[in-house]
Structure 1
Amino acid sequence: MNISSEQIKTLREKTGAGMLNCKTALIETKGDFDKAVEFLRQKGLASAEKKLSRTTKQGIITSYIHTGAKIGVLIELNCETDFVARRIEFQTLAKNLAMQIVASNVSFISLKDIPQEMWDSEIRIESEREDVKTKPEKIRESIIKGRVEKTLKTYTLLNQSCIRDPEIIVEEYIKNHVSLLGENIQIGRFTKFVIGENN
């Protein structure tokens, strides 16, 4: 099958995968763009998962000040080597994540960062809802757990719909860069500043 360089370029821009991988994906999926994206995600995320346990001691701290200078973010993004930390793709990722934080109402990186008292509070609220009170205990627990997680995910950066690619969440967006750059990438911490917020 004849795959054009334009198709490969478009797929590369969409996924961040290498040219050869993009060509392979298009050949494997007979030129079907959406299936090629899915193919790369499956392959890329598989390799990304293996890297996610590796230590991240390098990285950068970057900032983003929103137009009007009323909102700003500082973010620490970590990787494994200084070589990757200096790459433009890594620095762009850090900047895009800072912009994502400005655009979102998030306070935590992931669900595991949310304090237990917030979990307990949400569980109490959901347990008191009339539509779950009459359910059998097993089903009731499952419904409450699902609802609590859904609510708390709205406060976490990794579970937000990515502003750069709304079809995926931020966690997948980072994993795509793990595949692209070949190193584990983790958000160390972030702080959002809003003018007048502490007044």
Structure 2
Amino acid sequence: MATETVKIDAKLVKELREKSGAPMGDCLKALQESNGDMENAFVVLRKRGMASAAKKASRTTNEGAVGTYIHAGGKIGVMVELACESDFVARTEGFQELLRDIAMHIAAVDPRYIGREEVTEADIEREKEVYRAQAAASGKPANIIEKMLEGKMGKFYEEVCLLDQPFIKEQSQTVAQIIATQVGKMGENIAVRRFARFKIGEPTATFAQAKQVVAEEPQA
């Protein structure tokens, strides 16, 4: 016996469309799956956006734009290169807004790296040594210390890696999740390629650049 389709008010579909930026058809399906619950439907769309982002992550990003953000009366400045697949998407309002938001986030939170893969081995080992020493001083057994170390390193990555940080305008999501949502909306791979953060009075600026991964072209 066929399952009865839940009837959804067109106003709800429109509201979810405005909130998520997802296509009307996807919004309707998400609301039907969620029995008309707006918050659950938004979660459904976010999950689909993350899955879509994962599928597109290996696609080459040769287009994009450079954005800037100046804060605190000219005392802090950020420049970010955000990459995508086409010049068309790079020029859209949504992409430009994402670029500004990421630059603003970097100005406020001051990450040192883009992602975990950019963290140097020297930094990782130094942090691990500190955490192991702290844990050992507590007298806990080795297996517990290693579990504590995993949690400490996760917190460390959250502090220094842009993609792991809670987004400044939406603390319930990381910067990586914010980008993934936009990938789902725009239908293209989007990646932070590099950034620089300058602050008056500091001797050097913070520079970060993602490791370049070139996707192989599919065989004909």
TM-score (ref. length: structure 1): 0.91
Superposition deviation, residue 55 in structure 1? 0.9
Distance 2:147 2:174 in 1: 24
Which of 88, 94, 102 aligns to 2:99? It is 94
Superposition deviation, residue 137 in structure 1? 3.4
Aligned residue runs from structure 1 range 40-189, under 5 A: 40-130=45-135, 134-189=139-194
Which of 22, 25, 37 aligns to 1:20? It is 25
CA contact (8 A) 1:132 1:143 kept: no
For this pair of structures, how many residues does the alignment match? Answer: 199
Aligned residue runs from structure 1 range 23-42, under 5 A: 23-42=28-47
The answer for unaligned runs of 5 or more in structure 1 is none
SS in 1 for 2:82: strand
CA contact (8 A) 2:66 2:80 kept: yes
Q: Which runs of 4+ in 1 moved over 3 A?
A: 130-139
Q: State the identity as a percent.
A: 39
TM-score (ref. length: structure 2): 0.83
Higher mean C-alpha displacement, 11-20 vs 182-191: 11-20
CA contact (8 A) 1:111 1:153 kept: no
Which of 177, 193, 197 aligns to 2:198? It is 193
Which has a greater percent of strand? 2
Does the C-alpha gap of structure 1 residues 154 and 13 become closer, same or farther in structure 2, counting only changes over 3 Å? farther
Q: Which amino acid aligns with 2:190?
A: I
Alpha-carbon deviations, 1:86-119, whole Å to 9, x = none? Answer: 1111111111111111121311111111111110
Superposition deviation, residue 188 in structure 1? 0.4
Q: Which amino acid aligns with 1:57?
A: N
